[in-house]
Amino acid sequence: MRRPTIAALVVVVGVLLLADFLVVNASLSELAMLAIDAVILVAAGAGLAAVAALVLRRSGDLWRRRGDPVGAVLVIGGAAAMLVAGLRPGGAGASDPAVGWLLSALVVPIAATLFGLLFVTTLAAARRSLDGRAGGRDASVLVGVAIVSTVLLLPLSGSAGTWLSEAAGWTLAVPIGAVFRGLLLGIAILAAVFAARTMLGIGAADD
């Protein structure tokens, strides 16, 4: 598919969704839902293709005895286990109890372990940031904010725990929420500008 065709499809779908957001019309809503379903199907197909490409690559690494063989076996075995659990005869797909067990017993603990390691890496990063070679005002601010966030999330009971919980909720909703909203707005604006430049064929030489 050529680039102008892809750009035209993106523009048509974007205009359709924008019109559905601004105009209340049953036929337009049905057409917009059809476009959303098509986008979801395309995204699902892309995800499956990415998983298949990963499995094929790791299988090739295992066959040619290159890279990490243990990691390749784990990737292939994990993908096979999820496929068997979700696609087995009589199964319920993504809502099947076997899939839920794999997620709750394997994937969630692994993710929790990785997030638990962030505490150690954060301490190491704070130590390196505050030493004489790389220390500075920015590093001090980052470390201070990290310490305050850690204190607010301490699992204490009684009135102190209640106060910390309320302070943590306010901090998450007001200052941190404002920063994240600003980041999301900036990313959205940059993405819109980049998409417009791509669809209009504007390059760096045209600036």
**What pLDDT score does 135 carry?**
58
Query: How confident is residue 1, by pLDDT bands cut at 50, 70 and 90?
Result: very low
**What pLDDT score does 116 carry?**
80
Q: What is the mean pLDDT of residues 35-57?
A: 89
What's the half-sphere exposure (Cβ side, CA atoms, 13 Å) at 159?
Answer: 0
Whether residue 134 is predicted with pLDDT greater than 80 in this model: the reply is no
Convert the pLDDT of each residue in 144-203 to its tens digit: 877 787 788 777 888 888 888 888 888 888 888 888 899 988 888 888 787 777 767 666
Whether residue 90 is predicted with pLDDT greater than 70 in this model: the reply is yes
Whether residue 9 is predicted with pLDDT greater than 70 in this model: the reply is yes
Q: Is 7 within 8 Å of 196 (Cβ atoms)?
A: no
**What pLDDT score does 33 carry?**
92
Whether residue 4 is predicted with pLDDT greater than 70 in this model: the reply is no
Q: Is 171 within 8 Å of 149 (Cβ atoms)?
A: yes
Tokens for 148, please give them. Answer: 């305050």
Whether residue 132 is predicted with pLDDT greater than 60 in this model: the reply is no
Which residue, 14, 50, 47, is CA-closest to 195? Answer: 14
The full set of domain ranges for the chain reads: 1-87
**What pLDDT score does 57 carry?**
92
Residue of 22 and 53 predicted with greater confidence: 53
pTM above 0.95, yes or no: no
**What pLDDT score does 204 carry?**
57
Q: What span, in angstroms and rounded, lies between the C-alpha atoms of 168 and 176?
A: 10
Q: What is the mean pLDDT of the chain?
A: 82
Q: Is 125 within 8 Å of 143 (Cβ atoms)?
A: no
**What pLDDT score does 118 carry?**
78
Helices (H), ranges, 130-174:
137-152, 158-173
Question: Which helix (H) or strand (E) covers residue 51, if one does?
Answer: helix 26-64
